[in-house]
Structure 1
Amino acid sequence: MNTAAVADFRTYPLISALASVELLPDQLRVQWADGRASPFHHQWLRDNCPCPLCVYNVTREQVLEIVDVDEDLTALSVHIDQGCLCVEWHGGHSSRFDPGWLRAHAYDDESRAERRDAKAKPKLWDSRFELPVFDYAALMEDPNTLLQWLLALRDSGLTQVSGVPTEPGSLALIAKRISFIRESNFGVLFNVQSKADADSNAYTAFNLPLHSDLPTRELQPGLQFLHCLVNDADGGESIFVDGFAIAHALRDENPEAFRVLCEIPVEFRNKDRHSDYRRLAPIIALDALGEVAEIRMANFLRGPFEASVEQMPLLYHAYRRFIAMTREDRFRLVKRLNPGELWCFDNRRTLHARHAFDPASGARHFQGCYIDRDELLSRILVLQR
């Protein structure tokens, strides 16, 4: 039976050819041409068979459930055919594996460490950060420029785009170059300007301390856009800090405070006449590998701390230290946004703030929107393939 060797939309480069394969009682042992050895358990290979009986070739999604395969299933025979690993199973099923795919998913210690090392890592920055600036027209027309912008967003968490039209609503066109816009109670596109009936401090002339938007939600928005239409008012400069850089510095300088902010949850609240959002979560969230993955912070949306009597002093000490670090000049990037420019940044990493401005000195009108981080990462992968 002819079977597919890769059940994916992506292609996998041939890093090293298959040199030999040895059949063992519960696994196969593959020897690669570059000298690496990779064991593959029978269950794993059968679970990942890419043939049309196991994977629907239209969606490239798995049909097979491993529970429907005998737990003690073993291979009847193995061989290498035209560079692919071929397995004949007891019971009559056949599997064929592309060597590029197989190497990309090998789970020997060396291969797993190699993938971890190759994974994109945040590029931490401070006040000396050289802000990546991209041209609007190029982003709208050139897929490669678009990819470079998205990679900069993924890795540094803060970018600027220049040459953006200043007509209201223009922001939606560039946001949709990434994906669909995430709507919130503030709308699809929200207008950041001073107004008397404000339902957020953002819609006043006050200074705003460093914060992430919508920390009151189970999932904070990933990307935030702020597009300047008019900026004639005195003041109102934008301030940014890399929350990941502060978290790493805190872990080095005060490990106990870092631990407290990772473990003790804080409640954030956002309420107006028509909505009431609340979320209990740590200020610093770690991913499955223990790396900093998210910062959740907005002092003006924070409820009273609720911690044990023993933990309360620890929480206040850690919280005060984190806020104090966001005010240190070593971390702060201060820039004024001009008409036709926009910020795009990782809202779950880059904290942003604004100096107070004088609405009597001139008009100030920004528009903003959100896109989830998952959409950024998906778009990158599609552009790369």
Structure 2
Amino acid sequence: MNIAALADYRRYPLISPLSAVQVLPDRVQVHWADGRLSPFHHQWLRDNCPCPECVYSVTREQVLEIVDVAEDLGCHGAHIDSQGCLCLEWSDGHRSRFDPGWLRAHAYDEQSREERRAHKAHSQLWDSSLQLPVFEYQALMDDPAALLQWLLALRDTGLTQVRGAPTEPGSLALIARRISFIRESNFGVLFNVQSKADADSNAYTAFNLPLHSDLPTRELQPGLQFLHCLVNDAVGGESIFVDGFAIADALRREDPEAFLTLCETPVEFRNKDRHSDYRCLAPIIALDALGRVAEIRMANFLRGPFDTSVEQMPRLYHAYRRFIAMTRETRFRVIRRLDPGQLWCFDNRRTLHARNAFDPSSGARHFQGCYIDRDELLSRILVLQR
């Protein structure tokens, strides 16, 4: 074997070669040439063995279950081979071989973990001074490097504009599928945003829409939303955006109790029409496993009556009013009018969007929209980065 087997499809650069290895009763201690010391417990190393017996080479998915390995497993030998890989011999006779790049990328000494946390993608908060990331349609269709830059902007900023798109109905699907498949909803695969008499959503009227996320009534709100302008001759109808993460960050600093209330108190959102009835009970601000803001769920026109304790109700109203008031502050708002051939693509679980009222008698206005889940965006980025 010339190189160590890898348990996934990524490449791991050699940050530092291995310089020495030491076997202890419950762990293997690895010394790196740059001076770092990384302990690896026997169970962890055996659990992550990348050999063909433990990982199916076609799918690169694990077939070993650690419960089938003795809990008191010992390491009988360890050395660094001529390719710089860590080689281990276990007390049950199994052998493992680890690529040093992979091993360093997954080391769990505190310094290595802190490095990984520092290199993780971080949301770039923005306000009314945002330099809007703008991309050209044809470049995104033709150039994988341009596509990657667009997707990174979507991931980190949560609001982008694309210009030079075709204006034929249905053409939005072409660029959306450059990311992944489109998520269908009760509004269809592509939905038409036009004023109509028999509207089943306030979006399909001419009056203003307050800042909101789409489909907060679903267990999982769509991650990305596209809005593509085909015709826009009507007076009014400007798009308004705020960074919900930036507002949550400001609320955490300016009114910590209100922030905590919106994180901990579930609110029911409802979307009822003649043919469907969607409901979801969830907090307005959702945090991830590390305590960072991961999602904003907000649409006042789809919200049911608050249902919380008598003691909590005044606190909930205070927090809710404060959040809505902050979305109206000019310091957070970005306002733009979309022209034919332009489209918005934004993180629907982060960037709240609104629309000014427009006059349908002044001219036609026709947008098309669609959704893609955030997981598909993140997956596409990782594949392009390979």
TM range (shorter): over 0.9
> Does the 8 Å contact 1:3/1:96 carry over to 2?
no
1:165-214 CA distances to partner (integer Å, 9 max, x unpaired)? 00000000000000000000000000000000000000000100000000
State the TM-score, normalizing by the size of structure 2: 0.99
1:283-320 CA distances to partner (integer Å, 9 max, x unpaired)? 00000000000000000000000000000000000000
Specify the alignment match of 1:42 in structure 2.
42
Deviation (angstroms), 1:7: 1.6
CA distance in 2, matches of 1:155, 1:140: 21
> Does the 8 Å contact 1:5/1:84 carry over to 2?
no
Specify the alignment match of 1:177 in structure 2.
178
Specify the alignment match of 1:370 in structure 2.
371
What letter is aligned with 1:59? T
Equivalences for residues 1-385 of structure 1 within 5 A: 4-81=4-81, 82-385=83-386
CA distance in 2, matches of 1:202, 1:287: 30
State the TM-score, normalizing by the size of structure 1: 0.99
The DSSP-based 3-state class of the residue aligned with 1:145 is: helix
CA distance in 1, matches of 2:179, 2:76: 48
The DSSP-based 3-state class of the residue aligned with 1:102 is: helix
> Does the 8 Å contact 2:4/2:85 carry over to 1?
no
1:204-253 CA distances to partner (integer Å, 9 max, x unpaired)? 00100000000000000000000000000000000000000000000000
1:315-348 CA distances to partner (integer Å, 9 max, x unpaired)? 0000000000000000000000000000000000
Unaligned runs of 5+ in 2: none
The DSSP-based 3-state class of the residue aligned with 1:96 is: strand
What letter is aligned with 1:205? A
Unaligned runs of 5+ in 1: none
1:83-140 CA distances to partner (integer Å, 9 max, x unpaired)? 0000000111000000000000000000001100110100000000000100000000
Deviation (angstroms), 1:5: 2.9
CA distance in 2, matches of 1:292, 1:330: 20
> Does the 8 Å contact 2:49/2:98 carry over to 1?
yes
What letter is aligned with 1:279? C
Deviation (angstroms), 1:15: 0.4
The DSSP-based 3-state class of the residue aligned with 2:16 is: coil
> Does the 8 Å contact 1:4/1:52 carry over to 2?
no
